[in-house]
Amino acid sequence: MIDDIGARAKAAARQLATTSSAKKSAALRAMAAAVDLDRARILAANDRDMAAGADEGISDALMDRLLLNDGRIDGIVSGLNKVADLPDPVGVHTGGWKLYNGVRVQRTRVPLGVVAVIYEARPNVTADAGGLCVKAGNAAILRGSSYAYSSNAAIGEVMRQALEREGLNPDAVQIFPDTTRDGARALMQAKGYVDLLVPRGGPGLIAAIEAEATVPFVIDGAGNCHVYVDAEADLEKAAAITFNSKVQRPGVCNAAETLVVHAAVADKFLPGIAIQLMEAGVELRGDEKARNLVGDMKQAVEEDWGTEYHDLIMSVKVVDSLDEAIEHVRTYGTGHTEAIVTEDYSAAQQFVEEIDSAVTMVNASTRFTDGEEFGFGAEIGISTQKLHVRGPMGLEALTTERYILYGDGQIR
C-alpha cells in the first residue's frame, strides 16, 4: 500500500514542482470554496466519528478536539484562503554569484517533494497541513488519528475534487488509510517516497519517530521555557511577562515552565507575582529561597526543573547571579525559548549570547515564539532541532534549495 501511495504522491509532487504560484493559489482557493460548499458532507462524516467516539467512551477533551461545527468549518475555509494569499516560497533565488571561470551559479528554493504529516485527533489539521504542503509545491500524505478517520477522509476527498477541477493531480493530497501504529511506522520508514515527515503530536509520537523513522523529519519537541527576572529588571514588565508567559495558554510549548529570579529583587518581586499567579490558578513549586518569601509554595524537587508541565504549574528558583541563571537554563532547558527581563544592557547581551536556545527574548513574553506572531502567516510547528530549520516553521520549512549553473563549455 505504501508503495502505491508513495508512487502517486511522487507523481503529483513532480507536477506541483513546476506549477505556477497563481495556479497553486487558485487550487487553495478552490479547496476552501469546496470545503465551504460541501460542509454538510464533512459534518455528516464528523457525526459518525463523534458517535463512534462516544460509543468507545473517549474523553471529553478528545471529543472536543474531534468535533467539527460550522464555526470550525469556517475556520478551515478562512485558513485555506489565508495560505492561498501567502507569498510562494518556491522559485525565490536565495543566492547567486559568478565563478572564477565565468560560470554563473544560481541558488533557488524548490519544493521538498513529498511531505508526510502524522497528527492526532483534530480534523482541521488535514486541511491546514494539506494546504500548506500544496502551497509550497509538495504532495501531502496525511495520516491522522483513527478517531477522526471519517472526518479526515471527507475533508481529503473534498480537497482532492477541488484539485482535480483545477487541473491538478488529486494525489497532491492523500489521506493515509492505515491509522494503526503499523501504518504510522510504514510512513516513518517510507524511504525513497517521503522527503520530510512532520509530526504534529505529543511526546509519544515524537519518541516513536526518533526511534523508528528512517525518513528525514523535523521535530517539534518539548518546550521547557524559562523567564529570568534580572537584578535590574523593570518589575512591572517582569510581572506582565511572567504572567503572560505562564497563564495566557499554559498547554502550549512556548508557555513558560520555570521562573528564575535574581535574589536582589526576589523579595520585592516574588510575593506579588506569586499572588497574581495563584489567583489565576497556578500552582507554584519553589526552591528554599523562594519558599522563604512566599508561604504557600510547594517544595520543588529535582524533577520539577526539567519538566514541561503543559499546565497551570510553575517552578520557581532564586539565583544569586546572572551566571547562575544562565547555568540553570543551560542545564534544564530544552533549547526552545528563554526570556530575560532586564534594563541592564550588558546583562541582556550576555543572556542572548550564552543561551543557545532556538529563541531568546529580551523583555518580551515567551509566547511570541510562534509562526503567526513572527509574521510567517502560518505555522507548521516549532522546530527544536538544529538541522534544516530552527524555531517557528513557516512555508519555507517545507522547501529545500538547489543549484543551477550556467556555463558556456567550461571544464576543469
Report the interface residues with a second copy, using CB under 8 A: 14, 17-18, 97, 99-100, 103, 105, 110, 112-113, 195-196, 210, 214, 216, 218, 234, 236-237, 240-241, 243-245, 248, 330, 352-354, 356-365, 367-369, 373-375, 385-388, 390-391, 400-412
Q: How many residues would you count in the chain?
A: 412
Q: In this complex, which beta carbon is closest to a second copy, that of residue 85 or of residue 288?
A: 85
Task: Kindly tell me which of 126 and 244 has the beta carbon lying closer to a second copy.
Answer: 244
- How many other CB atoms are found less than 10 A from the CB of residue 254? 21
For the bound state, the minimum distance from the C-beta of residue 40 to a second copy, rounded and expressed in Å, comes to 36
Contact 131, 117 (CB under 8 A): no
Nearest CA to 219 among 209, 229, 232? Answer: 209
| 381-383 vs 391-393, strand pairing mode | antiparallel
Query: Angle CA(85)–CA(75)–CA(201) in degrees, nearest 5?
Result: 95
Least CB distance to a second copy at residue 403 (A): 5
In the bound state with a second copy, the residue whose beta carbon lies nearer, of 85 and 401, is 401
In angstroms, give the least distance from the CB of 326 to a second copy.
10
- Residue 179 vs 363, nearer CB to a second copy: 363
CB 194 within 8 A of CB 187: yes
In the complex, the smallest distance separating the C-beta of residue 81 from a second copy, rounded to whole angstroms, is 20
What backbone torsions phi and psi does residue 378 show, to the nearest 5 degrees? Answer: -160, 160
129 in Cβ contact with 116 (< 8 Å): no
The dihedrals phi and psi of 135, each to the nearest 5 degrees, come to -60, -40
Q: Which is nearer to a second copy, 48 or 386 (CB)?
A: 386
Shortest Å distance, C-beta 69 to a second copy = 26
**CA atoms of 315 and 133, how far apart (whole Å):** 39
Q: How far is the CB of 345 from a second copy (least distance, A)?
A: 11
Closer to a second copy by CB, 73 or 129: give it.
129
Q: Between residues 320 and 373, which has the closer beta carbon with respect to a second copy?
A: 373
Exposed, middle or buried: residue 166 (CB in 10 Å: 0-12, 13-18, 19+)? middle
Taking the CA atoms of 195, 200, 205 and 206 in sequence, report the sign of the dihedral they define.
positive
- Output 47 or 344, the one with its CB closest to a second copy: 344
CB nearer a second copy, residue 35 or residue 238: 238
Closer CB to a second copy, residue 260 or residue 389?
389
Q: State in angstroms the smallest separation of the CB of 344 from a second copy.
A: 14
C-beta of 339: minimal distance to a second copy in Å?
8
Whether the CB-CB separation of 111 and 138 falls below 8 Å is answered with: yes
State residue 312 phi and psi, 5-degree precision: -80, 65
CB of 299 to a second copy, least distance (A): 28
d(CA 258, CA 116): 34
Helix (H, G, I), strand (E, B) or coil at 217: strand
- 39 φ, ψ (degrees, to nearest 5): -65, -30
Report how far residue 364's alpha carbon sits from residue 351's, in angstroms, rounded to the nearest whole number. Answer: 14
Q: Find the shortest distance in angstroms from Cβ 335 to a second copy.
A: 9
Nearest distance from C-beta of residue 68 to a second copy, angstroms: 27
- How far apart are the C-alpha atoms of 34 and 161, rounded to whole Å? 8
DSSP type of residue 169: -
Residues 6+ apart with CB under 8 A from 392: 369, 370, 371, 373, 374, 376, 379, 382, 383
Our CB check for a second copy shows the closer of 71 and 97 to be: 97
